[in-house]
């Protein structure tokens, strides 16, 4: 269930400053699936949360120096153990898609919900992540007129590869939400 404040029931809310208002009269009709691990290929720890809240220590890992100044977020982050962290209320625009295009429309952040799965292009996602993703999508469909799901790679081809080849798109079929590149 999504409450009146735009928060997903059962998610831990950690507010990110990396968001703003969506354009008026813009329906939220796209779900964008991402994957992230920090440092790359490593799971667990608080680096993703730190990145999305502008608290990433650039000295914490050599890779962090490259990304610590980035101002990014997502609506949801699904850890490998199934925990869901929400960074941005759904009625606000999270900064997850960057330069992007879908169905002839630019600026996907304006009309999408961004979900990050803790993962990488090299490894399969967990059963718990898929179960929680389906549950979250079902709750979102009760609140928003979602018509499709797309990968970050679909809306930013050539620039992004996530969620990667190990994401099983058929797992979203139970929601009735089709993949639409």
Catalytic residues: 116
Query: DSSP letter string over 51-80?
Result: HHTT---TTSSTTHHHHTT-----SEEE-T
Beta bridge partners of 113: 31
62 contacts: CB under 8 Å, gap ≥ 6: none
3-state SS of 5-30? CCCECCCEECCCCCEEECCCCCCCCE
CA distance 163 to 7: 23
Q: Which two tokens stand for residue 37?
A: 């691990």
Q: Which two tokens stand for residue 71?
A: 């101002």
Residue 94 near residue 73, CB atoms below 8 Å? yes
């Amino acid at each position: 269930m999504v409450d009146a404040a735009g928060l997903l029931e059962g998610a831990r809310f950690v507010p990110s400053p990396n968001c703003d208002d969506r354009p008026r009269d813009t329906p939220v009709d796209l779900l964008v699936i991402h994957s992230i691990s920090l440092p790359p290929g490593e799971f667990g720890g608080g680096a993703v949360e730190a990145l999305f809240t502008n608290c990433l220590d650039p000295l914490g890992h050599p890779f962090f120096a490259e990304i610590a100044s980035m101002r990014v977020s997502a609506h949801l982050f699904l850890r490998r153990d199934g925990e869901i962290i929400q960074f941005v209320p759904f009625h606000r625009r999270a900064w997850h898609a960057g330069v992007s295009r879908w169905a002839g429309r630019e600026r996907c952040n304006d009309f999408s919900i961004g979900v990050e799965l803790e993962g990488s292009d090299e490894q399969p996602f967990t059963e718990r992540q898929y179960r929680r993703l389906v549950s979250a999508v079902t709750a979102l469909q009760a609140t928003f007129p979602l018509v499709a799901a797309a990968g970050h790679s679909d809306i930013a081809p050539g620039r992004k590869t996530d969620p990667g080849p190990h994401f099983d798109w058929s797992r979203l079929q139970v929601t009735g939400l089709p993949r639409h590149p």
